[in-house]
Every structure is written in structure tokens, then in C-alpha cells.
Structure 1
């Protein structure tokens, strides 16, 4: 009777091996692509050409590195089993969006890198559960706007990078909960104005980078609460020094000169004069700046309302735009040669497991009949 027992044990072992093969291994020691360190709980999957997050990442992983891959999207529950993560790096991929709730289980996360992707927007509440987050890197994306209160839960944040995006404005109160923030990077955007009081709660701020935007003025009192500021960049903005709105900024720069680095670099759009040198006589005009919202002018609305259908010209629609309207998308690229080889090796392993499993089943049947 020992024969059937041994065969049954063999069948169980082979079945377990087949399941493991089907799920895919993560670490190199198990035949996977990532490097795992059991002592430090680090998993490094960087620069592997990955188009999906590997399966079976150890649940006790502390640091997960996935930068320099080809990730285009994330599953909504991609990280839900990795509740011990304190560091996650998704830098330099091709992410175009973040699914809602993707970070909801990462309540211990302290550092999150998502810079140098293709994000154009952030889902509302995407960071709401990251209550321990200390550093957030969102630079070098294509963000055109921020959801209201998107950072409200990040009350422990000290470092926020939003440089090299396409932001034209900031929501009211967007930084109000970031009372521990020390470094804020907003450079290389398209900011045209600042909401009143946008920095009022940032009393611990030491570094503020706003160079290379489209700022012409700042609200009265914009920097009054930044008593710990040691570095600020305001250069490469088209500061309008002909309007008396600039006088607040000019006076503030003169007062902070010598205590705040790089503060003197702010220059007027015309004439090349430094903002700090502007006098009341030079900035005598009481300028009114246009509202930079996306509202349609009432004249256009009136014209459209009074027009007959026959008066509206028929505009040709390019074929590619029509396809986008219908939801048409080009098929994904074909697998690369290494990916094909990985797929073939996976199929061979699966077939071998099936052959061995079948042999074990036949072996069990043979002994059962014999018994």
C-alpha cells in the first residue's frame, strides 16, 4: 500500500509546483526578474522592461523599486497586499493615469516617487490614506490641474515636488493642511496667478521654488507667514513692474535681501530691471488683470444663441479625431523578443508540469487497480 501513498504525495508536490509556476515567481532566487533582500526587505525590479508589476512580491516588503520600466497602467489593487511598504518608486515609467484607491492600503508609506511619467490628472482622493507620507515626488509629468484638497490627508509631508508640469493655477487652500512642509517645488510650470493665502499655513517652509512660470504678480501678503524661508526662486517670470500690485513683492524682496538666497534674481518683464528696485513712481498704474478661468465670454454665448443652424459652417473632422471620439485606440505594441522568450519558457514549464502531473495520476490509478 506504500506505492499509492508515495504517488499521492508526488501528485501533491507536483500540483503545488504547477500552481507556483502559473502565478509566476518574483525574486531571482526563485527564477524571477527582481532582486530581493530578505534582511532589508527590499525588492528591486528597476530597469527590467516590465509592462506589469510582478506577481508574488513578498507581503513583508519594506521598499519596492519599479523605476525605469514600461508600466503604462496599474491595477486598482496592485499594492493592496503590500501593507508594510514605507518606500515605493514608480519613477520613469509610462503611467498615464492612477486608478482610484491604488494606494489605499499603504498606510505606512513614507516616500512615494511618481515623477517622469505621463500623468495628466490625479484622481480625487488618490492620496487620502497615505497618512504617514513624508516625501512626494510628482515632477516631470503632464499635470494640467490638481483636484481640490488633494493633499489634505498628507499632514506629515515635508517635501513636495510638482516641477516640470503644465499647471496653470492652484486650487484654493491646496496646501492648507501641509503645516510641516519644508520644501515646495513649483518651478517650470505655467502658473499665471496664485490664490490669495495659498502659502499662509506653510510656516515651516524653508525652500520655495517658483522660477520659470507665467507669474505677473502675487497677492498682497502672499509671503507674510513664511518666516523660516531660506531660499526662494522667483526668476524667469514675466513680472509686471508697471502696476502698483508689484510694490508688495518689491518691498518684501528688499526686506529679505541678505537672509533669503536667490531672492534678488526676480526681474521685470520689460526693461530688465530688478523687481526690488521698482519705486512707487514707476509702478503707478492701478492695473486690472483678466480672470484666467475657462468661462466662455457672454458675447460668444449671445452670438451662438442667436445664430440659425443654417448659418453654422460644417467643419471637417479629421479621421484620427473621429476615431478618438468613437473610443478607437491603436492596439498595444507586439511583445518584444525577451518578452516572447519569457512567455515561451513559461509555456514550456507549464507543459512539463502537466506531463509530470498526468504521469503521477496514471501511476496512482495503476496501483489502485493493482490493489
Structure 2
């Protein structure tokens, strides 16, 4: 019995070792997102390839935070409160290909901060308050200019004031000499170099900023799309407002629009005519709203769409034909919703898809309908982020579900595709979503039951040995 006790203890040690207690680990993915972390966890595995630290409370990064970074290919640090990081923080990531730093409070990058990221193929820096009135931002400006292939064409890496892009600090008259004989422009020279908007490009009322073909109405407390947006607008930012309702054909006159950001609003529904006329739209953000479903005809006009962000809503289900017109879509983000199953054929028309994020949902791996998603995932293993999609409760990866694991008895009655109720859960979604985030990768209730069984077995074995 002593041997049994030792074996059980070794088993527990094997299960819990190699992964920080604050995170969930599966394969080469370390998921520390949505953990309210104020610092980078210690003891990260040396073989980690994807490290998620997004949606936490990080404020500062040090070069000592990532001692085991040699194998990391993807690093997500977005949506924290990072204000700065020390020089050398990213010096030891020889295999890093994707770096996400968007949605933080960064104002500049330390000189040489990105110089050793030689294998990078994508970086996200938008939604940061870049301070174009301090000298250090000019390193970032030069770096963007020499690494433009790493940025999406419409990534908004813009200054926090005067609606100018960080990359615009280039080809200017340099007037300030530094100690190492490098010259940089003064702030008046920068502002003087920015062309005035054309006479036929007028801004809407109430404080939106306009430049060239960009209209920025961010954080203006709008409750609807403002009137007077120019027909030639290519980029429209309406994020961080109080928009609850969008009128049908609200963007119909803006047929040149290529980027539309409606994120961080209060939108709970969209009519099927919302996006009429937007055949040239390439990038659409509707994340961080209150959508519970999508009209099956909502996305039909968006035949040129390449990136769609629906994450952080309350979506319970998806209509089978919701994405039928999106044959050019390259990336789809459906993370942090209330999805539990996907109807057969929902993703079949996405022929150009390169990446999809389905993490942090309520995937019902006991319902037979989950097999439609499992089959699609196994046939699309090259799509990024599929290996990290977990069943509700975090006890198993969705892609690992097999037919013997499921049954009809764990599915709610289907009310038809038109009602889009296939993906409802059998538990309270408001409380369940938080539980899913907090236990993503490890089910705390199951762990407690497992621990109790282990203690009971150990106690019993001791009792029997004494008897």
C-alpha cells in the first residue's frame, strides 16, 4: 500500500508540474489570459510555443520576466495596462513570429526594443496612446517604416493627439541634434508637415477628428452614427462610444469604406441592412459589444471582408449561412462569447481563412452536435488557435473529442436553424462565463473532487495496512 501511495503522489506531481499555478497548460500552449495578473507568472515551461498573457493587469515588463523564451513563437500581451518595458525585454525571443501589444498604455518604445526580433512576421501595436511629442517615439516611427510588411495595411498606430500616424514622423526636416549625432524633428516641424484636410473632406459635428480619408470619432459619447461623414471616408473609428442602435443602411453612402471600428459600444442587435453597400470593406470590428445573435443576412454585402472581430460579445449561436459571402475572409475572431456548438457547414465557405479564434466559449463536448466542429477542426489543423479551444469547464480539448464521448441526451432540443438555438447552454450563461474564464484549462470543481478521492484512497490504504 505504501507503493500505491507513492505512485499516486508521483502522479499528482506529474499532473501539476511544469505549468504555473495561475495558468492553464495544454500541449505547447500556456494560457494565462483573463487571470487579473499584475505580473508575469514564474516557472513558465521551457518548451512553450504560444504564451497568452492578454486581458490581465500588467503595467510593466522587465527583461527578467521571460527567462524561458527560446521556443516562444507567439506572445499575446494585448489588452493590459502596460505603460513601458525595460530595454532588452524582447532581446531573447529567437523564434518569435507574432507579437500582440495592442490595447495597452504604451507611449513609446525603448531604443532598440524590437531590434533583435529577427523572425517576426506580424506585430500589433494599435490602440496605444503613442506620444509624438517625446523623442523616443521616433525610434518606433523609424522601425515601422523599415518593417512595414509586419503591419496590416489598416493598423491604426497613431499618435494620441493631432490625429497623425506614428509612421508620419518621417521624411521631415530634422532640427534637433542628439548626443550620438542623430537628428530628430521638433514638434512644431512635425505639426507643420501635416497636410491640411482637403476642402471637400468635411468632419461631422461634435468633435470628430478628420485627416485625409480617416474619420476618428473615438470616445465622443455618441449614441448613434453621427451625420455628415464624408462619402470618401476609408477609415471610420467609432470605438469607445455609447452606441446601442445603428440605423439600416447607416453606411450606405460610404462605399469607399475599408475599415470600420464599432468596438467597445453597447450594440445588442444589428439589422440585416446595416452594412448595405460596403462591398469594399476589408476590416470590421464589432468586438466588446452585447450581440447575442447575428442575422443570417447581416454579412452578405461584405464580399471583400478579410478580417472580422466578433470577440467579447454574448453570441449564443451562429446561423449556418452567416458567413456564406465571406470567401475572402482571412481571420475570424469569435473568442469570449457564449457559443456551445456550431451547425454543420457554418465555416465551409471560408475558403481563404488563415486564422480563427474560438477560445473561451462554452463548447458542449457531451452533445453530439459538437462533432461538426470537431470534424472541421481536424480538417483545418493549420488554422491558428484551434489546438487551444477547450470544452466547457476546461477539462478537454475540443479537437480531441471522439464519437464515444458524446450523446443526444446532453443536447437541448433543437428549434430549427432559423431560430439559431442549437448553441444554447443548459446552465446560466452570466455566471457560467466567468467560471469558464477563471477555470479555462483546469476545472476547479473536478480538481477538488479528484483531490478528495486521492485523500480518501490514501486514508483507506493506511487504514487497511494497519488492520
Deviation at 1:85, TM superposition (A): 5.8
Deviation of 1:200 after TM superposition, in Å, equals 1.3
Contact 1:41/1:61 (<8 A) preserved: no
Match of 1:252 in 2: 376
Q: 1:37 deviation in Å?
A: 6.2
Partner of 2:379, secondary structure, is helix
Equivalent positions of 1:70-89 (< 5 A) are 86-89=213-216
Q: Rg: which structure is higher? A: 1
Provide the C-alpha distance between the structure 2 equivalents of 1:213 and 1:243, rounded to a whole number of angstroms: 18
Q: Does the residue aligned with 1:253 lie in a helix, a strand or coil? A: helix
Of 312, 321, 324, the residue aligned with 1:200 is 324
Where does structure 1 differ by over 4 angstroms across 4 or more consecutive aligned residues?
35-39, 289-293
Query: How many residues are matched?
Result: 227
Q: CA deviation at 1:193?
A: 0.7
| Residue 92 in structure 1 maps to residue 219 in structure 2 | yes
Q: 1:61/1:179 Cα in 2 relative to 1: closer, same or farther (>3 Å)?
A: closer
Greater length-normalized contact order (CA 8 Å, ≥ 6 residues apart) = 1
Taking the aligned partners of 1:217 and 1:271, their CA distance within structure 2 comes to 15
> Is the Cα–Cα contact under 8 Å of residues 85 and 108 in structure 1 kept in the other structure?
no
Distance 2:368 2:230 in 1: 48
- RMSD, aligned α-carbons: 2.8
Measure, in 2, the Cα distance between the counterparts of 1:212 and 1:289.
24
Q: Quick one: distance in 1 between partners of 2:298 and 2:408?
A: 31
In the alignment, the residues of structure 1 paired with residue 235 and residue 191 of structure 2 have an alpha-carbon distance, to the nearest angstrom, of 19
Residue 147 of structure 1 pairs with residue 271 of structure 2: yes
Q: Name the counterpart of 1:186.
A: 310
Alignment partner, residue 340 of structure 1:
none
Displacement of 1:124 in angstroms is 1.6
- Could you list the per-position Cα deviations for residues 52-92 of structure 1 after superposition, in whole angstroms to 9, with x for gaps in the alignment? xxxxxx73448x6x9xxxxxxx57xx99xx9x962100012
Asked whether 1:283 is paired with 2:399, we answer no
Secondary structure, aligned partner of 2:260: strand
Spell out, residue by residue over 1:196-235, the C-alpha distance to the aligned partner (whole angstroms, 9 max, x if none).
2111111111110000000011111011111221111101
Q: What TM-score, normalized to structure 2?
A: 0.45
Give the match's secondary structure for 1:281. helix
- Compared CA separation, residues 247 and 86, structure 1 to 2 (3 A): same
Gaps in structure 2 of 5+ consecutive residues: 1-161, 163-189, 420-467
Q: Which structure shows the bigger proportion of residues in helix conformation?
A: 1
What residue in structure 1 maps to residue 390 of structure 2?
267
SS, match of residue 403 in structure 2: coil
5+ unaligned residues in a row in structure 1: which ranges?
A: 1-26, 28-34, 43-57, 67-73, 294-371
| Distance in structure 1 (CA, Å) of the matches to 2:413 and 2:388 | 24
Distance change in 2, residues 1:170/1:60 (3 Å): same
The whole-number CA distance in structure 1 between the counterparts of 2:395 and 2:351 is 29
- Displacement of 1:97 in angstroms is 2.3
* 2:356 paired residue number: 232
Match of 1:59 among 199, 203, 211: 199
How far apart in 2 are the matches of 1:254 and 1:166? 31
> Alpha carbons of 1:267 and 1:106: their partners in 2 closer, same or farther (altered >3 Å)?
same
Structure 2 SS opposite 1:178: coil
Listed one character per residue, the Cα deviations across residues 224-265 of structure 1 (whole Å, up to 9, x for unaligned) are: 1112211111010001111111101011111111x1111122
Q: Secondary structure at the match of 1:265?
A: coil
Offset of residue 289 of structure 1: 4.4
Tell me the alpha carbon deviations over residues 263-306 of structure 1, each in whole angstroms, 9 at most, x when there is no partner: 1221111462111111111122163446697xxxxxxxxxxxxx
CA distance in 2, matches of 1:171, 1:106: 28
1:209 aligned onto 2:319: no
After TM superposition, the score normalised by the length of structure 1 is: 0.56
Displacement of 1:38 in angstroms is: 8.7
C-alpha spacing 1:124/1:37, structure 2 compared with 1 (3 Å): farther
* SS of equivalent residue, structure 1 residue 256: coil
Does the 8 Å CA contact 1:204/1:226 hold for their aligned counterparts?
A: yes
